[in-house]
Every structure is written in structure tokens, then in C-alpha cells.
Structure 1
Amino acid sequence: MSLSYAATVAREYVHRTAVAEVFVTDTSDTEGTYRVAAQLPRGHLMQEGPVLDFSLLVETVRQAAVCVSHLHLGVPLGLAFLFRDLDVQIDDADALRVGDRQAHLEVGTALEARRTIGGRVTGVEFTGQILVDGRAALTGRGSLMVMTPAEWKSLRGLGRRETLSAAEPLLPSPQPSPQPSAQPSAQTSAQPSARADPRTVGRRDPRNVVVSQVSLVPSSAGERRAESWLHVDTRHPYLFDHPLDHAPGNLLLEAARQSAAAAVSLSHGLQPSDLVVLACTGSFDAFVELDLPTQVVTQVAELTTRGAIVACSTRTSILHAGRVAAQIDLTMGVTA
């Protein structure tokens, strides 16, 4: 059965507020194997380079898993989903190049639901592949927690108490505003310094920069280590599509990508704008509060060559209140 790209699904099925941020258009179920159609707009705010933006690809995977959970696994609307881990491999970087029309994606995935004795879904593990205009481009796996509002409130409260016991808030608690403002507000300064120059982190639009200036730090061990701070702007229409009381996973992934691009450039002389993500493994272990500073630390390995691809492995730690809140390993590469 062919999938339709005629219209997006209802925004509630992918947990988005803006219709423009809904990418999924259709789903199907064939004996437990699910196919999900999605369309990525060429003019999206995050889409700046010649290849499909990595953040948008991960968001497509998230939306596919959430949508299938609601439409095919019986998860009711109103429950909360929380990213726990992700493992993605780019199989064909050339398939991700932006063409002269919107990209049609198809996510083929198998989902395994964790259920209570009563049958309620408490988590989802997914594996699958993304086709871009019919070409196999990406494979990956990941997992999501599924919680009732009461469970979410309890987990969120516990997480915040644990964080605040380790570090006192240094900033006023932000009140996310859904309306953009011409004047900067206190919520855009959840870090000790201003945003990095977009060119140094592989970006063009300053609005998409989510870290401060990335600097190499001398190490007696000889390792290449780069440091910066997370820059949070709750007015960003994609990263904060709706008000949140913590930094979302896609913000942390983008911070790791920007830090890695800058760190590889500083360490090996490659241009940040030439670097693309070839692989990503991430785990998210603690909430990142919006009213505490968050450090982004990236370790950089040596360059490797695989055919026409020059690549570099990086490990980024999101340090928050004296502990690692998330760890994201990226392979950054330059393709011919």
C-alpha cells in the first residue's frame, strides 16, 4: 500500500503545537511493521546547508515513533513521551542532499512496547530505516518513556529537586513566551556568555546558534578538549515549539553537533560548514533546567579517512549541576 504525502497528520499525534512543525503525513501497519511518510520543507528555519539538517532527521524519527504509538499501539493522547537514547548511522550521505523540491521521507520501523500487567504502554523501543525519495539514507534505534501526567509531574519534580540539591539556581526561573519579541529577555541568557559566531559552529542564522564561543582547552594528557556553554532561547519556534520547563533533547543534540563542528575545525582545520553528521549515539540521563548554566564539553579524536570521506569522532558531555546530564557521541565528516 502506498503512503500519502497529501496532508500532515493532526499535530496532537506528534506532540507539536505549530502545524508547520508537523512532518508526518501518513502511517501504515503491516503485521507489526510500520511505515511512516514524512515531508521535510526546504525552507525550514533549521535547514541551512546543502544536506538535510540532522536535527530535522532526528525529529522525523521522534515524530514517527510517537505517531505510531498513538495510532497503532493504543497509547492515548495526553501522555508524555521522553527521549532516553538514540543510535543513528548515516548510510548514504549523498541521499540527504537537498534537491529542487521537498524531500519525501519514508520511515520503516519495528516498535516494541513495554507494558504494565494491565496492558498500558510505559515505553517504546524502535529500530528502523529512513528512505529519502526512495534511497536508503539512515538506520537507527532508540527508546522513549511514556508517562501519565501524574507520573510526569512526579518524575519532573524529583529530577528538579535532585538537581537543585547539587547546585543553587543562578538565574531567574524563565517563563517561556510563545510570542516572539523584538527585545531580548532574561530567558535568552541561561549561560555565562553570548552566542557563538554562526560561522564557527556550522550555522548561518544566528537564531539557530545554541552554544557560546567554543574554545580549545589545553590538556596535560594531550587530548583535544573544547568547551562552551549552552545558549537557551525559549522563543525559538522549532526548538521550543511549545512552552517547556526544561531543555529538550533536540536542543542538546544540536548543541553537541555545533560544539563538535567547532572543535573539529579548531583541532584539524576543517571548515565547520563542510562537516556533516555521519553517526550519532546519545543518552539522556537527567533533566537540564532552564535556570541553571550548562556546560558543553567535547573531546576530539584524530582524523580518519574512509574512501572519499574524511571523518572525526567526538564525544560531547552536557554538564549540568556537577553531573553529566547527557552524553552524545558524533562522527563528523566531510564527503566528496
Structure 2
Amino acid sequence: MTTMTIGQAESSQGLGSAEPLLVKQTVPPRLIRRINSSDVFVTQLGIVAEDVFEVGVRWPGSHSFYAPATPRWHDPLLFLESVREAGVLIAHAGYHIPMEFKFLTNQKWFHVDDPEGLRTNGGDPVDVTMRVTAKDIRRRAKSFAGMLFDVECYRDGSRIGTAAYRWSCVSSAGYARLRGQYRDALPEVPAGAAPVDHELVGRCASIDVMLADAPGENTWLLRVDPAHNVIYDHPMDHVPGNAIIEAGRQAALLASGMPEAIPVGGELDFHHYIEFDQPCTVTAHPVPGTNTIRLAFDQGDVRMADGSLDLCNG
């Protein structure tokens, strides 16, 4: 493949151009909707064929939020976050979706073939490769409206997991109309309810705890501190997807009573934005005879998101 700089990649014609796209230097955080370079895990991008991409990813030996789940394994949600970053990078650099467009996550699915594929490397970074295939590409007039990314993740030539990421996008003007009164909403400091004990949800710090106690069996309140500089590393008008996924993981650990467990598969459907101005409950119920935990996020009487996680005791 022909080497190109980030600047060339952003200004090239993308699909249908004579030159294959290749990013082979540090990816600017803005290309994946991040502020801090320490939260950028994608490292390079290449076109394999039409609508098929190869993305290099480096999992750090340590991270302030996506730390190894246990000394033995990287956090599987680091894999899922890497899928998100790869998707945003491809959307901008591969399909030239304008930077001002807003992305809406519709569904995420993942499966770890073998947890050993997530093994740590003595504190050193680990490099993996993702093969991403774009499907169900939808357009709105001359613009892209969304698509599905199917992902296969490889380490040292062996497949270690798969994922899917369905998303849609709208222009900034369309997003303002969509959000209405919430378009300028700001996160609020959680009031009243203290976070659950961080050790019960496999975290090292209280700021990383996304749940507070609530009445009801296997029910908690979603609690996201706006001071969290990974969850809220740029302005947002709703609770972001990575906070919802982490809250789901923590609820699954509490419901299972296995604080050292790691999620090795699951799916989440995002139906509505979770807003800042009213409580959101998170419920988690084990499926009898399995390691699967069913999850639901409700705000008022409206189901905002739901899905499941499959746990493996670490």
C-alpha cells in the first residue's frame, strides 16, 4: 500500500480513489472524537478492498480507565472501545463523513473467542489488528446516513474476537433539531446517592463507579461523575455510550456476585439518549443456568437501552 500522511488521508477522495488510504502515524484524537492522546488506541488504517479496512490498534500496558481487568487479561471493554475508535476513524478518513456530523450508536455486539487472546504482556503494550467490513450502507440524499461495521480482531495472526457496531449520523443542524431542548444540556454532579463500593464492581477508584444504590432487587441508579476525564473528555449533551456500557458491566458484576469476572461477549441496543435531568435505573438479572446477565436501562417509564453480557470468572 502507498503511504499517506494524516493530512493526505483527510483530503483524499477515499473510496473510489486510485490510491489506497493508509494512516501510519499517531492518529490525531479529533479523528476519533477524543481530546487526550492517551485515549487513542488506533494506530493505522489501510484499505484492503472496497468497504473492507484494516486497522492497527495498540492496547496500552496501563490506562487510567481501561486498565487491565486482572493482571492476566486486558479489559474486554478496551476491545469494544477500540472498535468504536476504528469505526469513527473509518467514517471520517475512509468515507469522508464531515467532522461536524454527529454519530448515534444504535447497537453494539462483541464476542471474545478465547480470553487468552486478551492476555497482558508484562506491562508492555499489545498490538492487534482489526479487519473491518462495512455493510448495510445507508445514505440520505448525497450524504451517508449510517452503516454496520463487522469486525474481526487478530493478535499474532490468530483471531481473538469479533464485534459489530451499527451506527447512524446526522449533520450538526439535523442533530440540533433532533435534540431540541437538550442540545445544550450539561452533565450534572450526582446528587444524593453515593457510589457503590468500587471493590464490588472491580474498580480501583470511586470516580470509575457508574452505579449508586437504589430501591429494588438488582436495581441501581446510573451515576456518572462529570469530572471523569475519560468519559467526559469533550462536551456532551447526554450520557455517553461508554458510560452506559461500563454501568452495564458493573451491574452484571453486582448481580452475579463475581467482582473479578470479565465480560467475554454480549450485545447492547441503544434506543434513546439517556438524559441528565432525570434518574436512570439500571437492572441486571442473571439468566438461570448460564453466565449471562440481562441488562435494562430505564428513565421514567421508557426503556432507553437493553442487552446482555456474558461473564467469565477471572
TM-score, length-normalised on structure 1? Answer: 0.80
Correspondence for 1:241 among 227, 233, 236: 233
1:40-59, aligned counterparts within 5 Å?
A: 40-46=59-65, 47-50=67-70, 51-59=73-81
1:25–1:138 distance in 2 versus 1, CA, 3 Å: same
CA distance in 2 between counterparts of 1:292 and 1:98 reads 40
Contact 1:131 / 1:137 at 8 angstroms: preserved in 2?
yes
1:232-311, aligned counterparts within 5 Å?
A: 232-265=224-257, 271-273=258-260, 275-304=261-290
Q: Which runs of no fewer than 5 residues in structure 2 stay unpaired?
A: 4-21
Deviations 1:132-185 (A, max 9, x none): 344321102121111100111111127x59xxxxxxxxxxx9745xxxxxxxxx
Q: Which runs of no fewer than 5 residues in structure 1 stay unpaired?
A: 162-172, 177-186, 218-225, 266-270, 305-311
- After superposition, the CA RMSD in angstroms is 2.4
Contact 2:185 / 2:238 at 8 angstroms: preserved in 1?
no
Deviations 1:256-312 (A, max 9, x none): 1000011001xxxxx311x110211110011111121111111112244xxxxxxx1
Contact 2:23 / 2:46 at 8 angstroms: preserved in 1?
no
1:65-214, aligned counterparts within 5 Å?
A: 65-100=87-122, 101-112=124-135, 113-118=137-142, 120-157=143-180, 160=182, 175-176=186-187, 187-189=188-190, 192-213=192-213
1:157–1:109 distance in 2 versus 1, CA, 3 Å: same
The Cα of 1:213 is off from its aligned counterpart by 3.7
Please tell me the residue identity of whatever aligns with 1:283: D
Contact 2:29 / 2:35 at 8 angstroms: preserved in 1?
yes
Please tell me the residue identity of whatever aligns with 2:115: A
Contact 1:214 / 1:263 at 8 angstroms: preserved in 2?
no
Match of 1:268 in 2: none
Contact 1:283 / 1:327 at 8 angstroms: preserved in 2?
yes
CA distance in 1 between counterparts of 2:250 and 2:2 reads 37
Contact 1:11 / 1:18 at 8 angstroms: preserved in 2?
yes
Contact 1:103 / 1:133 at 8 angstroms: preserved in 2?
no
Contact 1:207 / 1:236 at 8 angstroms: preserved in 2?
yes
Please tell me the residue identity of whatever aligns with 1:212: A
The Cα of 1:19 is off from its aligned counterpart by 1.7
CA distance in 1 between counterparts of 2:117 and 2:2 reads 21
1:214–1:105 distance in 2 versus 1, CA, 3 Å: farther
**Structure 1 residue 316 corresponds to structure 2 residue 308:** no
CA distance in 1 between counterparts of 2:170 and 2:112 reads 31
Secondary structure in 2 aligned to 1:188? coil
CA distance in 2 between counterparts of 1:233 and 1:124 reads 31
1:22-33, aligned counterparts within 5 Å?
A: 22-32=40-50, 33=52
Secondary structure in 2 aligned to 1:199? helix
**Structure 1 residue 13 corresponds to structure 2 residue 31:** yes
The Cα of 1:8 is off from its aligned counterpart by 2.1
The Cα of 1:2 is off from its aligned counterpart by 11
Secondary structure in 1 aligned to 2:288? strand
Correspondence for 2:55 among 8, 24, 36: 36
